[in-house]
Amino acid sequence: MVLSNLNLLNIRLIAPEIILICTALILLLLDLLVKRKETVAFVGVIGTLLSAYVNFKICALGWSGSILAGMFIFDGYANFFKLIFYINIILTIFISLKYMIIEKASFGEYYALLLFATSGMMIMSGATDLIVLYLGLELMALSTYVLVGLMRRQLRSSEAALKYFFLGAFSSAFLLYGISLTYGLTGTTNLREIAASLQTLNLTDSPILFLGLIFFIVAFGFKIAIVPFHMWAPDVYEGAPTSITAFMSVGPKAAGFAVLGRVLFDAFGDMQVQWAGILAPLSILTMAVGSIVALAQTNIKRMLAYSSIAHAGYILLGVITGTPEGLTSTMNYLFIYAFMNIGAFAVVIMLRSEGFKGEDLSDYEGLAKSHPLASALMLIFMFSLTGIPPTAGFIGKFYVFMEAIKAGYVSLVVIAVIFSVVSAFFYLRVVMYMYMKEPKGEVALTTSAPMGFVLAVTALTTIIIGVFPSYLLNFARFSIPG
Amino acid sequence: MEDIILNQLNYPILTVTVFLPVMGALLILFMKNANLIRWTTLIVTVGTLIVALPLLNNFDKTTYKMQFVEEHSWIPSWGINYFVGIDGISILFIFLTALLSILCVLVSWKAIETKVKEFHIAILIMEAGMLGVFVSLDFFLFYIFWEAMLIPMFLLIGVWGGSQRIYAAIKFFLYTLVGSVLMLVGIVVLYFYGGKTLDILVLSKLSYPFGLQCWLFLAFFAAFAVKVPMFPVHTWLPDAHTEAPTAGSVILAGVLIKMGAYGFLRFSIPMFPDATKFFIGPIFMLSVIAIIYGALVCFAQKDFKRLIAYSSVSHMGFVTLGLFALNPQGVEGGILQMLNHGIITGALFLMVGIIYERTHTRMIDDYGGFAHVVPWYAGFFMVFTLASIGLPGMNGFIGEFLIIFGAFKVKKLLGILSAIGIILGAGYMLWVYQRVFFEKLNPNYKTSGHHSVWDLDFREVITVVPLIVFVFWIGFYPNTFLSYMHSSVEHLIKNMDANAVAGKEYLIVQYIKEIFGWF
């Protein structure tokens, strides 16, 4: 890269990421100086908001484009995902405050790592070069490994971190292998140039490149937890601090879809037939395993882990279509999923109190009697995850189903709707426990103002998008040109 | 637009009617006092009925077109509108829904003691959903109402129901959801076929290739057949009806299961005429099986509510038989029978609920000789029993007569078989009446002094009297109600004949080829 490319005017397009990383570094220092971890969290939120402000100010000014010699791009697609990441981190910080104290794992590094992970995701969403993509992915992954194992006194937390690390490292190796195969054939790591050389070198039928493509799908499949690369998810989701589970079920998944979409559409757009052929059976498998295995879970975190696997299957439908609208439907789904899933996890966290884990489904028995409001919110999230109108979950599903049918995958959609009925059963079971059983004992909820804020935001968004989806749809649509 | 008449009134009457209950639900969200909640719900449901009344006066009976139409852009990027309107087929269901909702509140006055607020919110949301289904003219809107209803109904059964309530609630939910999601796929296919619109009127006018029609017909059939319910997907119904609280049973039997038949009438028959004709044989068969099987199973029931639930299967068999007879008598009879069944079965469930409040048992063996202790109750019950049997002069007779007439015109055997169902119906209803009200008084209840069963009180009389009025009104002068349907039904049948591929003789092989060509 020539140095003259690095002029300051271009730097402004990665200012959001820079601000976020600087904030994270400040947090690390701040942690040494202040005792109250809430202060650290507060500064973290300010930094995130500043970064978000700068990001969308740049948007509003109409600046966009490719920088750093075409390695990084600031476009609507990346911005849409960044919005998801910003929402994800802010909501996560709010639900963590009290929870991490209860878990006796309230470290300042926690917030710094959240910021690092988020900046990694942002880099992923804007990466147009495989090397930058890898960089972002590793930044995200390494931070999350630590976050998962933060409750170091708990065996299952450490186990989860180790498991996640090993399998994550494994998937990184696949990614690197894929990158090197692609580089070997095309001589470039830039996505656009790969696409160009696919045509000029006539590589679309090359078996080696196909192998490279498979490696990409495997690597990203780990991040978005599709079957058969989902093995880590239930254990990690269960072992990690619940706030991190919420964070992980949305952020890295969305980031994984961001790079999956970017790589498949931008670089391998001409091989749509091939990758759709790989992804279609995987999505069926994902929906099937996620929905069916979730039926047998008694731990709510594990259940939500399988539910998030199943959702990855539905979200994948939008990618499979290979159309820009299909990708839009995927993004739309992820946005909605962020709210309903974090909302559900927020309720799970509320049940955790000093000396009470509150992770078992039976802990929800009769919750509606003692805590009607919390139960009503959980009810909304559960029905939304099922995809019952008038909640946002329905809009998300409807959109991907619509696009998949438009692209001709009718039988795939029929299978998907059948599994969404299967999944209804375990979501309903939570509602059933809350409303239709008698309470066994007194369950105390741990409430706080930030928690209330998160619940209000997520529940209202879930309902409002469900009834008036237009704004979100337009926003998602304008994020993708053409 | 040639198929609609803009709203004759200068305010959005349908929107107000549909969303008034939602407003009521939001209002009682902030209430604490149980009696205040009950009164508010009652006022809101009565208000909804009153608000809807101008529909009756201003309705133009001479046209099949959609009336009181409102159309607003809703999700422009998908071409989806908030589009509501009613015609002769849907208008009467609005009033059935509004009326039964009021009665549901009344009958639950004392029966519901726990989670009063949630119960009444569920009832109100339910009412809004049901009204919404009958007025929607956009598939997306329709589907939202159709599915949104599942949530309150699931809670009604599961929270306030009987001992097997959880099983029944989940079974109900999953059965209906399977059907609905398949319909959803069908809706999306229609959306793209019709050029990205979900306007029901536009989609009804298109003609679809035969193979596609068959698939779509089956997708919609999955949703509607479960809802009706037709044999053999009826098994959720006895459980749900039996375990639901009285109000839930009344709504289920009175309105909810009518939506399946309404769906056939509004979507399947006009949109897929060729497929309708293709599948008509199996549908007749299933209808007749439902009529006779449902009636026979009634004889074996020990549980009073279960008996009425199975009688619904039988009666709804008549409805589907009438609708698919596709002649004016059959279709009008089918629609009228839907109303009748809503009134009669709704009333029977109300009555059983009333006696359950006193005895806390639903087993027929635990009753006996009640005519001695609760004569008024027995008298009212007799009226509904006879109406259910189809005694001339009462509403059941008119509906069943028209249906059998219509079926007879199609095929004599159908008329004969369905008539057997009526005979069986008289059998089980009179037999159960005998076991509950005559014979010796069950020793569990004393005849003199302190009764453990007491007769109807004022509130309960108020609850059932409106239904008795309709039993006789429809029975003696059905034209009040039939006159609303004539034009719409006539249009439906005319359209059916026009749209069907005339004189196209198909070989079965050709049929199958064309159907699978679309897969």
- Please write the tens of the pLDDT for every residue from B234-257: 899 999 988 889 899 999 998 999
ipTM: 0.90
> Is B202 touching A (CB cutoff 8 A)?
no
Q: Which amino acid is at A471?
A: Y
Q: List, for residues B202-218, the tens digit of each pLDDT value.
A: 888 888 888 888 889 99
Assigned domain for A86 exists? no
Residue A295 resides in a domain: yes
Is A431 touching B (CB cutoff 8 A)? yes
Calculate how close chain B gets to A408, using CA atoms only, in Å. Answer: 10
In this complex, which of B78, B192, B519 lies closest to A405 when CB atoms are compared?
B192
Judge: A421–B174 Cβ closer than 8 Å, yes or no: yes
N-term to C-term CA, chain A: 30
How many domains does chain A divide into? 1
Q: Spell out which residues of chain A touch residue B177, defining contact as CB-CB under 8 Å.
A: 388, 421, 424
Task: Provide the residue type at A288 as one letter.
Answer: A
Domain assignment present for residue A148? The answer is: no
Of A383, A388, A410, the CB nearest to B185: A410
* Tens digits of residue pLDDT in B384-438: 999 998 888 888 899 999 999 888 888 888 888 888 989 999 999 999 998 888 8
How far is the C-alpha of A46 from the C-alpha of A40, rounded, in Å?
10
Give the distance between the most distant pair of CA atoms in chain A: 70
- Per-residue pLDDT, A353: 82
Distance CA A349, CA A294 (A): 20
What is the least distance, in Å, from the CA of B159 to any CA of chain A?
A: 5
Residue with tokens 């908030």: B82
Q: Would the CB atoms of B159 and A436 count as touching at under 8 Å?
A: yes
Q: Which of A201, A37, A164, A467 is nearest to B74 (CA)?
A: A467
Contact state of A432 with B188 under an 8 Å Cβ cutoff: no
In this structure, are residues A116 and A24 in contact, taking their beta carbons and an 8 Å threshold?
Answer: yes
Q: Where are the alpha helices (DSSP H) in B108-164?
A: 116-135, 139-148, 150-160
pLDDT of residue A125: 93
8 Å CB contact of A432 and B519 = no
Q: Which of A401, A402, A425, A426 to probe the B interface (max B CBs under 10 A)? A: A402
Interface test with A, best of B37, B117, B177, B220 (most A CBs within 10 A): B177
**Residues near A293 by Cβ (< 8 Å), separated by ≥ 6?**
A306
Q: Is residue A343 situated within a structural domain?
A: yes
Q: Do A436 and B170 touch (CB under 8 A)?
A: no
Is B29 an 8 Å CB contact of chain A? no
Q: B189 touching A, CB under 8 A?
A: yes
Residue B502's pLDDT band (cuts 50, 70, 90): very low
Contact list, B159 vs chain A (CB under 8 Å): 435-436
pLDDT, tens digit (0-9, with 9 covering 90-100), for B292-331? 999 999 999 889 899 999 999 999 999 999 999 888 889 9
Q: Is the pLDDT of residue B222 over 50?
A: yes
- In this complex, the residue of A388, A431, A469 whose CB is nearest that of residue B75 is A469
pLDDT at A6: 55
pLDDT, mean of residues B42-65:
89
Q: Which chain B residues have a beta carbon less than 8 Å from that of A332?
A: none
Residue appearing with tokens 């007194």: A442
Chain A contact for B297 (CB, 8 A cutoff): no
Cα-based distances in Å from B202 to A78, B86, B191, B500: 39, 15, 11, 17
Q: Is residue A395 part of a domain?
A: yes
pLDDT value for A2: 46
Binary contact (B147, A394; C-beta < 8 A): yes
- As a whole number of angstroms, the distance between CA B276 and CA B263 comes to 13
CB contact A373 to B (< 8 Å): no
Asked if A388 is an interface residue toward chain B (Cβ–Cβ < 8 A), one would say: yes
CB-based contact A401 B184, cutoff 8 Å? yes
State how far residue A370 is from chain B, nearest Cα, in angstroms: 11
For residue A452, the model assigns a pLDDT of 92
* B30 vs A: CB within 8 A: no
Q: Does B349 touch chain A (CB under 8 A)?
A: no
A231 inside domain = no
Cα–Cα distance for residue pair B427/B434, rounded to 1 Å:
11
Contacts of A413 in chain B (CB under 8 A): 185, 188
- Chain A: give the shortest CA distance to residue B171, in Å: 10
B169 to chain A: which residues are within 8 Å by CB?
432, 436
Which among B304, B300, B316, B328 is positioned nearest to B246, based on CA atoms?
B304
For residues B308 and A215, give the distance between their C-alpha atoms in angstroms, rounded to a whole number. Answer: 61
What one-letter code names the amino acid at A313?
G
**Taking CA atoms, what residue in B is nearest to A417?**
B181
CB contact under 8 A, A401 and B155: no
* Res A474: pLDDT: 83
Sequence ranges of the domains in chain B: 279-476
pLDDT tops 90 at residue B493? no
Q: Cβ separation of B147 and A368 shorter than 8 Å?
A: no
User: CA of A62: how far to CAs of A57, A203, A329, B224, in Å?
Assistant: 9, 36, 24, 51
Asked if B118's CB is within 8 angstroms of A470's CB, the reply is no
Interface of B with A in 461-500 (CB under 8 A): none
Q: Residue A467 domain-assigned? A: yes
Alpha helices per DSSP H over A352-409: 367-370, 372-386, 392-406
Contacts of residue A383 in chain B, CB cutoff 8 Å? Answer: 151
Q: Which of A428, A432, A473 sits opposite B75 (nearest CB)?
A: A473
Residues of B in contact with A372 (CB under 8 A): 118
Q: Indicate if the pLDDT at residue B133 is higher than 90.
A: yes
Q: How confident is the prediction for chain B on average, in pLDDT?
A: 87
CB contact under 8 A, A435 and B158: yes
- Collapsed DSSP state (helix, strand, coil) of residue B107: helix
Look at residue B278 in the predicted model and tell me its pLDDT: 84
pLDDT attached to residue A482: 46
CB B245 within 8 A of CB B160: yes
Residues 442-471 of A with CB under 8 A from B: 468-470
Write out chain A's pLDDT in tens, 482 residues. Answer: 444 555 666 788 889 999 999 999 999 999 888 888 888 999 999 999 999 999 988 888 888 888 878 889 988 899 999 999 999 999 999 999 888 888 887 788 899 999 999 999 999 999 999 999 999 999 999 999 999 988 888 888 899 999 999 999 999 999 999 999 999 999 899 999 999 998 888 888 888 999 999 999 999 999 999 989 999 999 999 999 999 999 999 999 999 999 999 999 999 988 889 899 999 999 999 999 999 999 999 999 999 999 999 999 999 999 999 899 899 999 999 999 999 999 999 999 998 888 788 888 888 888 888 888 999 999 999 999 999 988 999 999 999 999 999 998 988 999 999 999 999 999 999 999 999 888 887 888 888 899 999 999 999 999 999 999 988 888 887 777 64
Contact status of B16 with chain A (Cβ, < 8 Å): no
With a CB cutoff of 8 Å and minimum separation 6, the contacts of A131 are: A71, A179, A189
Report the residue of chain B nearest A369, measured CA to CA: B115
- Of the residues A432, A433, A434, the best mutation for testing chain B's interface (the one with the most B CB atoms within 10 Å of its CB) is A432
Inter-chain touch A394–B118, beta carbons under 8 Å: no
Q: Do A405 and B188 touch (CB under 8 A)?
A: yes
Whole-model pTM: value is 0.91
CA distance A394 to A341: 14
Does A196 contact chain B (CB < 8 Å)? no
CB-nearest to A417 from B169, B174, B182 is B182
Size of interface A-B (CB pairs under 8 A): 83
Tell me the residue range of the domain where A369 lies: 271-482
CA closest to B117 among chain A residues: A372
Q: Is A295 an interface residue toward B (CB < 8 Å)? A: no
User: Is A37 exposed, middle or buried (CB count within 10 Å of its CB: 0-12, 13-18, 19+)?
Assistant: buried
CA dist., res. B128 & res. B98, Å (int): 9
Residue B123's nearest CA partner among B211, B236, B196, B21 is B21
- List, as ranges, residues 12-41 from A with C-beta within 8 Å of B: none
CB A45 within 8 A of CB A90: yes
Higher pLDDT, B455 or A383: A383
